[in-house]
Amino acid sequence: MRIHKNLDRGICNILTRMPRIGIHKKPKIYEGTCNLLDEMPKWKIEGRTPLSVAELMQRRLEVRNTPYENNHFLTNNYDTIDAVAYHPRGKVKIVRNSQHIKDLNPESVLMDRALLLHDGEYEALPGQEFTRAELNGYLEVYQSETEAIANLVWKTVVGDQELLNDYVKYIFGANRKIFSCHGTMMHVHLDSETESVADFPHLRNLTLEGLQHITPKSNLLSYNLDNGGYNRLAE
């Protein structure tokens, strides 16, 4: 079991707001050394907020059928402002637009790369709560288009069925078009109850993966806040 207050430094790509359909202006990509605990205080001071999962989906849809469809924005993974909170009694809460992610700073206490929650913090969090039993069948499996559209976690995180429908149709089509891949993808990964941090209330942000040739992806991951410094944010 490891408790961290600071992260190793690495590469963090910050992508500016994407162009609207039809503009075709090349998006700017900024690269520099950072990690979430160092970077979020800067964004907070500047009044900036990383994209949510739903907003990131919308950005990707906005560049479809443009010269920038097949670029790093589609193929890279991005950390989002959405989060999943875990309770040691087997409960899971999906928190969109998480204030805890916005408030990350170098003094944030991590255990096994997750943010520890104080007594009562989990209960006070806004969001939809599920038991582990309610999520059976929705996690850790690659899905067809029909299954992804109906997935309880995807539906809850996105909060907009029409957007989810459009994104699923697009991402499966892009996978076939760009990589000639015809198969299942878009699996959801959450913490298991066997992890050492599972005995404590904790929170992780959600990462929306991009398309990659090696494996079919665009998965949704409850991922490490300490990712060796290789965190990406988009706004």
Mean pLDDT over each residue of the chain, to the nearest integer: 83
Instruction: Kindly indicate the confidence band of residue 12, based on its pLDDT and cuts at 50, 70 and 90.
Output: low
Name 140's Cβ contacts closer than 8 Å, sequence gap at least 6: 187, 188, 189
In sign, the C-alpha dihedral spanning 118, 125, 161, 44 is negative
Cβ neighbourhood burial of 212 (10 Å; 0-12, 13-18, 19+): middle
At 119 the three-state DSSP class reads coil
**Domain assignment of residue 92, given as a range:** 3-234
Q: How many domains does the chain have?
A: 1
Most confident of the ranges 161-165, 173-177, 217-221:
161-165
In this prediction, residue 181 carries a pLDDT of 80
Residue 155 has pLDDT above 80, yes or no: yes
Residue 21 has pLDDT above 70, yes or no: no
Please report, to the nearest 10 degrees, the dihedral formed by the alpha carbons of residues 81, 87, 92, 93 taken in order: -50
Q: Which residue has the tokens 């637009």?
A: 97
In this prediction, residue 214 carries a pLDDT of 60
At 215 the three-state DSSP class reads coil
Residue 39 has pLDDT above 80, yes or no: yes
